[in-house]
Amino acid sequence: KPKIGNATNSEQTEPLGALPHGLSFIDTMFTGTDSSVEAGAKAKAAANTNTSTSNEHREHRRTKEDLKKLLAEQQSIFENTIVGVALVTDSIISKCNQSFAIMFDYSRDEVVGMPLRLLYPSDKIFAASSSENHALLKQDGYFISDAQLKRRTGTLFWTNSSVTALDRDDPALGA
């Protein structure tokens, strides 16, 4: 039995406390059999987990903020360039900037969702151009061409287009 204070070997002393199964205080400290020690270890593990989770949340929030900033920058470039830019999917204009709409004398709301065919002078010219352009997109992932297109008023004008597939392996996803 452990001794308290200045007790000598010949003196009998009481245990430091009543511990389950006859364990001494020292046994409890090193083996972790005391529930307070176990609770302390669990609390420490939980604190480490909470710190890790908190760091992950901060990093996720920072990454999300960075992506939001990057998207805003790209959107600003897309909107403010003087060059007409459009995303065409399955021969339908799915997105465009204001410069593209103005070039054809339309509002952006009128152009988005419009068949690309309506910007060509005729069905024959559109079919020939589409066939050639799709082949180039599939082969090279891009093409550059000069084409005569049509404004809302019917006025024809020449354009120089540089077109790149969003996914070279699947040009149908858009260009």
Q: What is the pLDDT of residue 15?
A: 45
Half-sphere exposure of 173 (CA within 13 A, CB side): 10
Q: Is the pLDDT of residue 84 over 80?
A: yes
Q: Which residues are bridge partners to 144 per DSSP? A: 162
- pLDDT, tens only, 93-147: 999 999 999 999 999 999 999 999 999 999 999 999 988 888 888 888 888 999 9
| Confidence class for position 22, pLDDT limits 50, 70, 90 | very low
Average pLDDT estimate for 40-67: 75
Q: What is the pLDDT of residue 173?
A: 83
Q: Is the pLDDT of residue 67 over 60?
A: yes
Whether 119 contacts 142, CB under 8 Å: no
How far apart are alpha carbons 74 and 53 in whole angstroms? 31
Residues 6+ apart with CB under 8 A from 107: 101
Whether the model clears a pTM of 0.75, i.e. scores above it, the answer is: no
Q: What is the pLDDT of residue 102?
A: 96
How far apart are alpha carbons 129 and 159 in whole angstroms? 13
Q: Is the pLDDT of residue 36 over 90?
A: no
Q: Is the pLDDT of residue 29 over 80?
A: no
- Which of 10 and 114 is assigned the larger pLDDT? 114
| Confidence class for position 24, pLDDT limits 50, 70, 90 | very low
